[in-house]
Homo-oligomer: A and B are copies of this chain.
Amino acid sequence: MIVLLKPDATDADADALVARMRELGLKAQRTLDNGRRLIGAMGDAPPGASDTLKDFSCVEAVHATSTPYLLASRSFRNEDTLVEVADGRLVVGGETVVVMAGPCAVESFEQLRDIAGAVHAAGATVLRGGAYKHRTSPYAFQGLGEEALIYLSEVGRDLGMPVVTEVTDTRHVELVARYADILQVGARNMQNYNLLIEAGKAGKPVLLKRNMYATLESLLLCAEYILSAGNEQIILCERGIKTFEDSLRNTLDVAAVPSLKLKTHLPVIVDPSHASGHWGMVEPLSRAAVAAGADGLLIEVHNRPERARCDGHQSILPERFAKLVDDCRPIAAAVGRRM
């Protein structure tokens, strides 16, 4: 249920409503939507619950809803969520299409510094880089761990770029949140619900990547886990899905962008590097993503792709990245955005 409060309702009114909802066995979450107070009530409502809530004098209306992801839905919050990164120095979901770029994995301080400098010069405003890598083989490079976090934090600070990096284990959340500005939950962990909850509680925006086999509904249900942990600063990321088509590693579901934006108020970005697994596709897919309305791009850049310790095949060189950003600008303009 979604409870719309009257314009003159007070904080105390809302507190009383929330208390009543909890007595009814429901979870409650508040929001402001275009200046109006709403409270979402989630869970199996007992018979008569709706009438009970309607009886509060501060309540204007109670709407039933069948969506399984109430807090993530446009029904609960019609206004676009603006995700504020690094104390608001950067906003995702606003007029500007945000470009996040960097290496797949942090391999050394020098490697990170060089790539970060190049992508910053080309127009990237968020620095990405993996510290804890999630590899299909137990014998592959698993990341530098905290060492990488330190490098990311230093390089990001020097360049004035907020940092996004992946967290893969509930036990690392606190550590990663100490260094990173955005916590990434990777595709393979999308349904690691305990990790979602911990990441949600860490007080930082969360970048939630769609699993390569997840429907949009299940992606939104995972966002709901984070939202229900009290964190509404979530960026969704389409990064390609697995299909029968095998000439590329994944299939970019570009329709996910407009489709998600109809369903949810959360911003949606696109990762064309993982979506294709092939450097030659990163440019046309970036253009398509911006044309379809994406709020940002997440791109793997490497200065020596042939020596990269992971994902070299899908990483582009800094100079191609610069051209990519230039080519996307007029497309951003054509859809009423900046870049």
- A271 CB to nearest chain B CB (Å): 13
Interface size class of A (residues with CB under 8 A): 35 or more
Given A252-B255, A334-B331 in contact, is the A244-B241 Cβ separation under 8 Å?
Answer: yes
> How many protomers of this protein does the assembly include?
4
Of B170, B293, B333, the contact of A169 (CB 8 Å cutoff)? B170
Say if the beta carbon of A111 comes within 8 Å of chain B. Answer: no
Say if the beta carbon of A10 comes within 8 Å of chain B. Answer: no
Report B-chain residues with C-beta under 8 Å of the C-beta of A189.
Answer: 192
Residue of B whose beta carbon sits closest to that of A222: B136
Of B215, B217, B247, B335, the contact of A259 (CB 8 Å cutoff)? B247
Say if the beta carbon of A160 comes within 8 Å of chain B. Answer: no
Residue of B whose beta carbon sits closest to that of A135: B193
Say if the beta carbon of A235 comes within 8 Å of chain B. Answer: no
Whether B292 pairs with A280 at a CB distance below 8 angstroms is no
Whether A254 pairs with B252 at a CB distance below 8 angstroms is yes
Residue of B whose beta carbon sits closest to that of A188: B191
Cα–Cα, bound, A330→B42 (Å): 45
Say if the beta carbon of A202 comes within 8 Å of chain B. Answer: no
Of B171, B215, B287, B333, the contact of A171 (CB 8 Å cutoff)? B171
Cα–Cα, bound, A256→B92 (Å): 29
Whether A68 pairs with B137 at a CB distance below 8 angstroms is yes
- A334 CB to nearest chain B CB (Å): 4
Report B-chain residues with C-beta under 8 Å of the C-beta of A108.
Answer: none
Whether A212 pairs with B213 at a CB distance below 8 angstroms is yes
Say if the beta carbon of A276 comes within 8 Å of chain B. Answer: yes
Of B138, B255, B289, the contact of A225 (CB 8 Å cutoff)? B138
Whether A259 pairs with B281 at a CB distance below 8 angstroms is yes
Best-surrounded residue of A228, A290, A292 (most CB of chain B within 10 A): A292
Say if the beta carbon of A248 comes within 8 Å of chain B. Answer: yes
Given A137-B221, A171-B170, A331-B331 in contact, is the A245-B258 Cβ separation under 8 Å?
Answer: no
Of B213, B228, B289, B292, the contact of A138 (CB 8 Å cutoff)? B228
Whether B246 pairs with A275 at a CB distance below 8 angstroms is no
Say if the beta carbon of A288 comes within 8 Å of chain B. Answer: yes
Given A255-B276, A280-B262 in contact, is the A216-B245 Cβ separation under 8 Å?
Answer: yes
Whether B228 pairs with A139 at a CB distance below 8 angstroms is yes
Residue of B whose beta carbon sits closest to that of A218: B136
What are 18 residue pairs bridging A and B, where the CB atoms are less than 8 Å apart in the complex?
Answer: A27-B139, A43-B139, A68-B136, A134-B191, A136-B218, A137-B224, A138-B225, A168-B193, A169-B170, A171-B194, A189-B192, A241-B251, A243-B243, A244-B244, A248-B255, A251-B253, A255-B284, A288-B291
Excluding A285-B292, A287-B334, A290-B291, 6 further A-B contacts by CB distance (< 8 Å) are: A27-B139, A168-B194, A171-B171, A212-B213, A216-B245, A258-B280
A residues near B, CB below 8 A? 27, 42-44, 68, 134-139, 168-171, 188-189, 191-194, 211-213, 215-218, 221, 224-225, 228, 241-248, 251-259, 262, 275-276, 280-281, 284-285, 287-293, 327, 330-331, 333-335
